[in-house]
Structure 1
């Protein structure tokens, strides 16, 4: 048999095994000075109570759960899964019972009155790779995500690699293809899950999970909002009284009605290249993705030749190039319309073959 390890070797081995890092010189010195029969047990207890032990154990678990802070395919953009990682570390630190450890990761979000922590735990099911590659078939990849959950859950919790049963039965395989898809049905019920995702960031559905310090800040902001609302409401009687007094004693003055922003009548609003109009409120061109809509405008473009006419008629979009939104534009004399939910896979662009006529009123309509 091998000879008994000396004490410096022993503390180095147990430290690496339980925490993944070697002992400090001070730890070694303290262990060498401790001549009590329970010196080794005290070292083990100290290491087990250390946050480093939980991180060491969580590392193995995260490997099995295919943890990553990037999406995995193609661009491999970043996403935030570290809250689930920290949940695993905290579970080890708190010595969570294994049955709870399993239940909360498989279906923590389905527990009655699920806490934010339990919802975060179910992030185990969202650790799979996701794709934002242009041209993919979204449903194909959504099914791939579900199959990943089936295979990972069976490997981690059942100790079975059942990926072969996804495609066929085998006489030596204890899991049939039918049984694979029975399990598949459990994980094929995530609402609003999409096969095509953004290359950067997390994809819905996800939960808002503020940290404790952020919760404190949000609570303080809520209190300020409530206080400000009450202060604003207290001004209402004063404002109403002032309005009544102003209306009861109108004074003659030179004034005109402010011109409204209506595109359905010729000459209602003139766009001469020197001014623009921005609507900051209301729902004039605010349409949802699947909501039918129609909008129309009268235009009288300036210019001598149609091919020199360029500019926007109106648009409703975010700040990104080719970003989400819709709008009508004049491009080299042609009328162009685009409707984009997400460029590269969910967007259309149409352009007229005929050109607009310079110096003439024309009505354009999109429906």
Structure 2
């Protein structure tokens, strides 16, 4: 096998305010499949996952994870195929999921344990391991089960409901006998949330631009109030949800994409946390690794049986990743945002 050209996208500069295409740079390196050291594995990445958390890591400030280093390959989940191996745990042809980053090839060292996980694509498509049966799906499962803790008959509201995480949350809530109400941007996304994912209702936040209007729309969709909320957006959306929360409601704070441009996100009425005795808890799914096997098992079984639906937006080629990522932050994607690398 000849030496391969590995296209990579690195972080060229840190954003000030909104991220731009100038913050990224496309570079090339080389990799020789015939020169692997003992224990190494070479993976040809087929798909790259783009996720909102990446924007936070582009900053240098304090966060739950170390900042993305300048000049290094952007972090990101990938699925692909082993094309060369000197590791007894992996064979050529194995389909694997890992954190291969924004690049075409991933070289895994012998000491990097648990970096790659073999997956079975017999009943679950390869791309699903970056979405419904991957980190987004596990995020939905963990936040819903450990923080929202829904009970049959309760109402659960999910923001960014047409996205990779939100869509799974609502379907899991429905499976537990809850009323699932989504919040999404635009009539097409809301129709997908109700007609395809099976939510009971969906509120179009683009049709309700102020707090009063959005709160009234939520009141109509949630006549018995809101018992649980899975929050991905923050800002105005969270303010409106809090106005409708029942006493002792639970809010799983997964993301605040409304503030990924680096600006502070004020809360309109934080006193409601006390008045309604709410539980509002942030969580990071990577801190709940003991729960991943149970979550992946349930999610995989649901996808294989056709009981868990999802949608994907797929950009073509590594060079399209920065623009697709910026679109994700603006809500231009529909479902899970992926980049096809092969």
| TM-score normalised over the length of structure 1 | 0.21
Specify which structure has the higher proportion of strand: 2
- Report which of the two structures shows the higher radius of gyration computed on alpha carbons: 1
